Amino acid sequence: MKEIKVYSFVGPSGTGKSYRAQMVANKYKIKYLIDDGILVKENNIIAGSSAKKAPTKIETVKKALFINNKQREEMVKAIKKNKIDSILILGTSDKMVDEIAQNLELPKISKRIYITDVASEQEIESARKMRTTEGKHVIPVPTFEIKKQFSGYLLDPLQIFRSTGIGEDPYISEKSIIRPTFSYMGNYTISDNVFKQIIEYKAKKIEAVEEILKITITKTDDGPSIYVEVKVKYGFNIIGELKKFKELCIKEIEKQTTMNVANMRIIAKKISLMDLPDIEDLTNSID
């Protein structure tokens, strides 16, 4: 740990640090960076979970500083395991990055870089405006990397292409824009009826499904847990048709709500036979 060269990238909240973090790291040939509780290596999350998931700004700061013992120990372990030779720490002040380095048992900051060194006043003001008027935050990793961590948050991919000079390779990076729980715009909830309506709509696309009998939605930290009972038509491959139905539902729910489906279970509770009574409690199920 003592051999690690530690850099800091400092700027007030909302001035574009996370947007430019990978660019700064690339300039100084730094493969690893710490931003808001996560350890990132070249656009991949290696350890931690984003402080932007915290319910309040105070909790966000605590998580970003690695105050929690378990969180701190996990990060130190990850740093040692990856045998890091240099790392960039993002923070809103010199005091903050110094505290992060100390909490993670890292050496003192050897080089300090500030947002004003890499961004113009106009660029900084534009970043502030996006934060204060739209409540949007940038995380320096591609959207697919953090989708599971941010189930139910507004996520948008952001690709950056910038020339680095004549004869040099361009800088290309993908980042993610989110609107956290503590956003200036407030938070939002999705009614259970939304999930139910999506499921009912998709059922119409599956010829084997005659009727939706019951839908139960249970909210979890990882996303909705969904239980569905259906009435199916005789003569179809029930297992295959219900698998297709399940895949359609999950894909549409995640697309329309930005929430991950924690799990979905579909049970064929009844079967429809021509000119015969329904057979109830059929045990074909998809878990």
pLDDT at 147 over 60: no
What backbone phi and psi angles, to 5 degrees, belong to 4?
-70, 130
CA atoms within 13 A on the CB side of 81: 9
- Work out the angle at residue 273's Cα, subtended by the Cα atoms of residues 272 and 277, and round it to the nearest 5 degrees: 85
pLDDT digits (tens, 9 = 90+) for 44-65: 888 888 776 666 667 777 888 9
Q: How many CB atoms lie within 10 A of CB 18?
A: 25
Whether the model clears a pTM of 0.85, i.e. scores above it, the answer is no
pLDDT band at 285 (very low <50, low <70, confident <90, very high): low
Mean pLDDT of 109-120: 93
CA distance 140 to 120: 20
Q: What is the model's pLDDT at position 36?
A: 84
End-to-end CA distance of the chain, in Å? 46
- Counting every residue written for the chain, the total comes to 287
Q: Look at the block and give the residue holding tokens 């969904």.
A: 226
pLDDT at 184 over 50: no
Q: Determine which of 60-69, 179-188, 208-217, 252-261 has the lowest per-residue pLDDT on average.
A: 179-188
- What are the structural domains of the chain? 5-179 (3.40.50), 192-286 (3.30.70.1350)
Q: What is the model's pLDDT at position 61?
A: 79
Closest C-alpha among 266, 193, 181, 259 to residue 220: 259
Q: What is the model's pLDDT at position 185?
A: 44
pLDDT at 67 over 60: yes
Average pLDDT, the chain: 78
Between residues 26 and 209, the one the model is more confident about:
209
- Work out the angle at residue 201's Cα, subtended by the Cα atoms of residues 198 and 207, and round it to the nearest 5 degrees: 135
**Residue 181 exposed, middle or buried by CB count within 10 Å (0-12, 13-18, 19+):** middle
Tell me the one-letter amino acid at 132. T
User: What is the chain's alpha carbon radius of gyration, rounded to the nearest angstrom?
Assistant: 24
CA distance 63 to 53: 10
Mean pLDDT of 66-77: 92
pLDDT band at 253 (very low <50, low <70, confident <90, very high): confident
pLDDT digits (tens, 9 = 90+) for 89-110: 999 899 999 999 999 999 999 9
